[in-house]
Amino acid sequence: MRKNKENNQKTILATEALLLEIIKSPDGFKNNDGLVKVLKSQGGLAKYKDAERHIGAVAINTVKSLSELLLDDGFDGFERLRINARDAIEKALIGKIKKSTTEVTRQKLVSTEKTLAITQQSNFLLNTVIKEMRAHLKAMALQDGTDEERLKRYKDINKKVEAQLNYVNYGEV
């Protein structure tokens, strides 16, 4: 049982390596008809067997769960690799890409939505910084203390704002 699990994990990693290799140099693979056919679908790739590379046939659900576990980008990244590998081989065969426009548009949409969400989030956080700084400003204007106290207070606030800006810009605390 354990042996089987190990083989499955090896398969996923080996498949990823194969896909990366295809993307890098598609010319070495373009005459391999079986491989070209396999890359056309998710299920096909899962069923692909290659003893030399230690790739065995696994179920599509195994690919999904294991790729979430093993790869940085999860199954989405795996799927993107497959599509890119397919396009790379097609490009090598025909000499130009025949990328499906819907796929390109979908990828563009996903990335644009991601940027929009990040931008909105950072906008909100900067907004918060402004609001809080204004509150501090008002408190400073209304306070009655010595100059030293005021300076100490300023330093505290400055430190806080610095930390906040760090978070907004780099996502670090």
Choose, by CB under 8 A, the member of 65, 128, 143, 169 that binds another protein: 128
Among positions 64-123, residues that touch another protein (CB under 8 A) are 117, 120-121, 123
Stated as kind and residue range, the H or E segment containing 57 is none
Residue number, 124 or 154, with CB nearest to another protein: 124
Q: Which stretch binds another protein (CB under 8 A): 21-29, 49-57, 74-82, 162-170?
A: 162-170
- Please state whether 74 falls in left (phi above 0), alpha (psi between -120 and 50) or beta: left
- Assess 173 for contact with another protein (CB under 8 A): yes
Choose, by CB under 8 A, the member of 130, 144, 146, 170 that binds another protein: 130
DSSP 28: G
State both tokens at 48.
Answer: 């692909």
- Assess 124 for contact with another protein (CB under 8 A): yes
Rounded least distance, CB 119 to another protein, Å? 9
Q: Give backbone dihedrals phi and psi of 9, rounded to 5 degrees, phi first.
A: -65, -40
Stated as kind and residue range, the H or E segment containing 10 is helix 2-24
Q: Give backbone dihedrals phi and psi of 92, rounded to 5 degrees, phi first.
A: -65, -35
- Assess 163 for contact with another protein (CB under 8 A): yes
Choose, by CB under 8 A, the member of 106, 138, 152, 155 that binds another protein: 138
Report d(CA 122, CA 165) in Å as an integer: 10
Residue number, 96 or 131, with CB nearest to another protein: 131
Amino acid at 57: A
